[in-house]
Amino acid sequence: MEEMDKQTIGIVGARGHTGAELIRLIARHPALELAYVSSRELDGQRVDAYVPEYAGELRYSAPAPEQLPALAADVVVLALPNGKAGACVEAFDKAGADPLIVDLSADHRFDERWYYGLPELTRERWRGQRRISNPGCYATAIQLAVAPLRDLLAAPPVCFGVSGYSGAGTTPSDKNDPQKLRDNLMPYSLTGHMHERETSAHLGVPVEFMPHVAPHFRGLTVTCNLYLARPMKRDEVIGRFQHAYAGEPLVRVLDEAPWVSRIAGKHHAEIGGFAMAADGRRVVVVATLDNLLKGAATQAMQNINRAIGQGELAGIPAAERP
């Protein structure tokens, strides 16, 4: 594709870890070029000073929401904290502008007017919507771990999650303070976590989720305890997962339980373990993914690619595919 044919993309709220990962993906993308990257904290500074993979003269800017439509990007990614996306969407609506908008926050994950973009599970539900809600990182891992057995559940899945501290963002807090996390495992939001509600809503079954943050920087793991309505053999369970994700290059089904240390920097999710109780009515499934990639930026790129008519894996490093 020639340079002149590339579509332009703007990132609103690009200071965070996910914003940097998106810039890296866009920098290698055959059909996209950065139009703007907004960050109040980095306003005026060169993008390549923070993301060396990007080659260009672009500088961070700090447009107000009402200024975004005039920037006329074909695609807009909202990489903002929860509760901040609405003002930007309202500005596009008021201006009568209709770019492809991908919201990485939780603000539109319960809005039926928006496509909920977890491609491996919701691909057939996309009907050309120009508004896409990107799933949460934990919610992605849990849904991938539970969905192949959803019709056989006898009780709510109970999921224990541990994430690296990049998942807590860049605003200083206990959950991203390496000193407080050292030699520690920090539980938080043990009931009612946003991803618990999100997962329950989109799976259509109640899910119980207990998140923790650990001293490592990136990557998350969820261990899901699933009670089954009838006894199953381990081979039957594994067969369900292999069938569900056959042909899905960004989901790998393993025999053993995946390790979070092996998923950092990778664009796919791994699911494995499949430890069966003696009576066959309980299975424990483990899922890992990089919270900044398949849990955020890579999944956003899958959704963008489909919406702009590219192959779903365009711009996603081939070396990380199975």
- Report the C-alpha gap between 315 and 272 in whole angstroms: 27
Q: Which of 88, 137, 159, 224 is labelled catalytic?
A: 137
Residues 6+ apart with CB under 8 A from 298: 21, 25, 250, 267, 290, 316
Give the alpha-carbon dihedral of 86, 131, 167, 298, to 10 degrees.
-160
- 88 catalytically annotated: no
**Three-class HEC string of the chain:** CCHHHCEEEEEECCCCHHHHHHHHHHHCCCCEEEEEEECCCCCCCEHHHCCCCCCCCCECECCCHHHHHHHCCCEEEECCCCCCHHHHHHHHHHHCCCCEEEECCCCCCCCCCCEECCHHHHHHHCCCCCEEECCCHHHHHHHHHHHHHHHHECCCCEEEEEECHHHHCCCCCHHHCHHHHCCCCEECCCCCCHHHHHHHHHHCCCCEEEEEECCCCCCEEEEEEEEECCCCCHHHHHHHHHHHCCCCCCEEECCCCCCHHHCCCCCCEEEEEEEECCCCCEEEEEEEECCCHHHHHHHHHHHHHHHCCCCCCCCCCHHHCC
Instruction: Kindly tell me the burial class for residue 169, based on how many C-beta atoms sit within 10 Å of its own C-beta (0-12, 13-18, 19 or more).
Output: middle
Catalytic residues: 137
